[in-house]
Amino acid sequence: MAKIFLHTSGCSFNHADSETITGILLRAHHQFVASEDEAELVILNSCTVKSNPEQRLHATMRRLSRERKKFIVAGCVPQADSANKLFSHVPVLGVNALDKVDELVNLTLAESEQAFNKELFLSSTQQDMLRFPSSRLHPFREIIPLNAGCLSSCSYCKTKDARGDLFSYDPRLIRNRFRQAINDGAKEIWLTSQDTGAYGLDRETNIARLLSLLLEKEGSFRVRLGMTNPTYVHRFQDELIKIFSHPSLFKFLHIPVQSGSNSVLRRMKRGYRVEQFVNIVKAFRKADPLITIATDIICGFPGETEKDFDETLKLIDKLEIPVVNISKFYLRPGTQAEHFEQHNSILIKKRSTALAALHKKIALRSQQPWKQWQGSVLVCEKGKNNTLIARNDWYKQIILQEGILGTFQEVKVKTVYPFDLRTF
Ligand code: SF4
């Protein structure tokens, strides 16, 4: 049996895939080590969303080859770019073939030509990953994937080439994994996919119904719902708002809008209008004025005019969105947007800087109601300088000087900062 080092890049869905890879290989009596040096084999679980992680992957592949270290490349990069010559003589494990990881590990260690069999290890046939064993990589946080793929085809997106069309996992398997995780001591559950709002639309159900099913489970734990596009929420909005009042669900809605301009959204092929996003945010805030809304914005999308960008700034300012994940536009090969006329990097940087400055002001303003707040938090992870990072029910980040990881504790906020609250 081998000593394996697993490196994961990208989103929580990719981390869930790494937990499946770990579960299958532990079941096959392999051992995971904490560094490449100790490892006989390295598995690189890759991300294709932006060019940087892909370039880092290529550099790591070159280095490992130089060091004659055996390695496997898994994840979205080879899945979305299977014909790339770079992978012609590299063992690759596609996102739909995680169940074959043990077979590929043994073939790679044996230096068998079969390890390069792309047909076997790079299938495009999606399958329910919850049928396979999984092993949590965090002491008390469980990541549960809900569906692979999505119903959209955004013009800039490379992930679509890897994850494909919507394939919702069986709600009974999700519920079993959820209950098992809580019985095994999980305190935080991340429900994740490329678009949780699309969950179940290929199975005559939806995310609100799935949440109701999962939250029948009693216990002291918190659930974070992963990002949902604005596209389909209107179909079950009232149900979803109702279930968001459940005490075990973080009052946190991550809903990427990407731009405040309808003409840019059309070029992105996002499939919704700005007004839809505004209505959803207002409806959730009407039900819970303190709910934490997070969104994503791409700055400098091809064809985005000054007026378009101004609409984005106005949208974020008008809605006072406290959490904004800002990305500079990144051209991905093989996407429709690759053929659009590109902005220069100086302009893209200028726009992302302007949005970051606005975001910081709004973030600090939005923290004011939390001054002197007192209540229960879940202590989630270690922070800097011997601090601990906790989350309250509105998923506000609260920094503590003392506490026990994986427990709930009562705290009082003393100071507020743009991106966190502190008890000291
Ligand atoms: S919703 Fe759009 S951006 Fe997200 S994975 Fe699907 S195609 Fe890509």
CA distances to 16, 68, 243, 344 from 247, rounded to whole Å, are: 25, 52, 9, 47
Query: If you take atom 2 of ligand 1, which residue's CA is the nearest one?
Result: 154
Domain shared by 155 and 142, yes or no = yes
pLDDT digits (tens, 9 = 90+) for 216-263: 999 999 999 999 999 999 999 999 999 999 999 999 999 999 999 999
Domain shared by 171 and 306, yes or no = yes
Closest ligand 1 atom, residue 153 Cα: 7
Domain shared by 173 and 216, yes or no = yes
CA of 294 to the centre of ligand 1 (A): 17
Domain shared by 95 and 69, yes or no = yes
Q: The sheet that has 167-168: what strands, in order across it?
A: 167-168, 141-148, 188-193, 222-225
Assess whether the C-beta atom of 231 lies below 6 angstroms from ligand 1.
no
Domain shared by 303 and 386, yes or no = no
- 26-30's contacts with Cβ under 8 Å and 24+ in sequence apart are 26/133, 26/135, 27/133, 28/1, 28/102, 28/105, 29/1, 30/1, 30/2, 30/3, 30/4, 30/102, 30/105
Say which CATH number the domain at 50 has: 3.40.50.12160
Which residue among 71, 88, 121 closes a domain?
121
pLDDT digits (tens, 9 = 90+) for 325-373: 999 999 999 999 999 999 999 999 999 999 999 999 999 999 999 999 9
Position 129 in a domain: no
pLDDT digits (tens, 9 = 90+) for 164-194: 999 999 999 999 999 999 999 999 999 999 9
- Alpha helices (H) in 258-383, listed in sequence order: 262-268, 274-287, 306-319, 345-367
Assess whether the C-beta atom of 337 lies below 6 angstroms from ligand 1.
no
Number of domains in the chain: 3
Domain shared by 87 and 153, yes or no = no
pLDDT digits (tens, 9 = 90+) for 91-101: 999 999 999 99
Position 126 in a domain: no
Position 232 in a domain: yes
Domain shared by 114 and 244, yes or no = no
Position 216 in a domain: yes
Position 151 in a domain: yes
Domain shared by 33 and 64, yes or no = yes
Task: Kindly report the pTM of this predicted structure.
Answer: 0.95
Domain shared by 54 and 195, yes or no = no
Domain range for 406 is 371-422
Position 77 in a domain: yes
Say which CATH number the domain at 321 has: 3.80.30.20
